[in-house]
Each structure stands twice: as structure tokens, then as C-alpha cells.
């Protein structure tokens, strides 16, 4: 089952359409993309493995992290990171199962039914010369074989 791959790509496609992201030419990447990034800020979408909520019911939960990254020397006062985080947070607030479904492959058997923002989002960290803020959500949906 590749729910995670399709959901990750759907979210990337939706994020790339955001005005703030396209105006700032901010790269949006999948978690497994190991290529070098030369931008001062970018977004990484990571979908953890889907878990079935009940053994006899095809409802799955997919934890999602949308990681906003900025390069510290170019963003010392964190203004770029904060702006990027706020745009991604706004994206998550407006996200609907129907909008995700429009980006899923035709005939795919996963149907998003609900999105729950994780109140523990907004985690911050600084690693080497990069600072990050994370927006977390959970996407629930049915998978039919």
C-alpha cells in the first residue's frame, strides 16, 4: 500500500500552488529527496506510515509533518521562517479532504475523509545553520482494496 507516497505528492502539489511559496520561489520537497538545496528557505513534506484505526474497518490515520526550514545566516531575525510557517499554517487551516482528493491519482483507493491539526505543532529547532518550525496534521481516510 502506498497511501503515504500519494498523500505526500498531493500535499506537495497543493503547497506549490500557494502564492507566498511561488512568489518567493520556495522549493517544496518530499522527505526522501536527498538532493542539495541552494535556497535560503524551503519546505519538506513528510507523511509517516499510515496506521489502521480498527482491525475490521478500512479507516486509516496518516500523521503528516510539514517542515519549514530557513538558513540562519540569511534569516537571523527569523522573519523569513515565521512568514513561511504562517503561510503553511494557513494552508493547513484551509485544507479539506476534497482538495486533497483532487490531487490523488485517478482510481486510487484512498479517500481522505478528515483532517485534524495537531495542537502540538510549531515545534522549533536549530540544527547546524538551519532553523526549523513544524506544522503537524493527521489525515484520516478510507482505503478500499
Nearest to 113 by CA among 138, 88, 90: 138
- Distance of alpha carbon 44 from alpha carbon 133, whole angstroms: 11
State the CATH number of the domain containing residue 116.
3.30.2000.30
Output the DSSP codes for 28-56: EEETT--S---SSEEEEEEEPPPEEEETT
pLDDT in tens, 8-39: 999 999 998 888 888 878 888 888 787 777 78
Residue-wise pLDDT for 51-102, tens only, equals 999 888 889 999 999 999 988 887 777 888 888 899 999 999 999 999 999 9
pTM beyond 0.75: the answer is: yes
Report the SS3 class of residue 22.
Answer: helix
Helix or strand or coil: residue 128? coil
Q: Of 53, 51, 29, whose CA–CA distance to 41 is shortest? A: 29
Domain that holds residue 98: 3-143
- Check residue 74 and report its DSSP letter: G
How many domains does the chain fold into? 1
Amino acid at each position: 500500500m502506498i497511501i503515504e507516497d500519494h498523500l505526500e505528492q498531493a500535499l506537495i502539489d497543493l503547497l506549490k500552488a500557494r502564492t507566498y511559496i511561488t512568489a518567493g520561489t520556495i522549493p517544496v520537497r518530499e522527505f526522501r529527496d536527498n538532493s542539495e538545496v541552494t535556497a535560503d528557505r524551503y519546505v519538506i513534506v513528510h507523511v509517516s506510515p499510515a496506521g489502521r484505526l480498527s482491525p475490521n474497518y478500512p479507516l486509516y490515520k496518516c500523521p503528516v509533518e510539514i517542515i519549514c526550514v530557513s538558513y540562519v545566516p540569511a534569516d537571523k531575525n527569523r522573519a523569513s521562517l515565521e512568514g513561511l510557517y504562517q503561510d503553511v499554517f494557513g494552508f493547513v487551516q484551509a485544507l479539506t479532504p476534497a482538495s486533497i482528493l483532487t490531487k490523488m491519482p485517478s482510481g486510487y483507493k484512498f479517500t481522505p475523509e478528515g483532517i485534524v491539526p495537531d495542537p502540538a505543532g510549531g515545534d522549533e529547532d536549530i540544527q547546524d545553520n538551519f532553523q526549523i518550525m513544524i506544522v503537524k496534521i493527521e489525515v484520516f481516510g478510507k482505503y478500499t482494496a
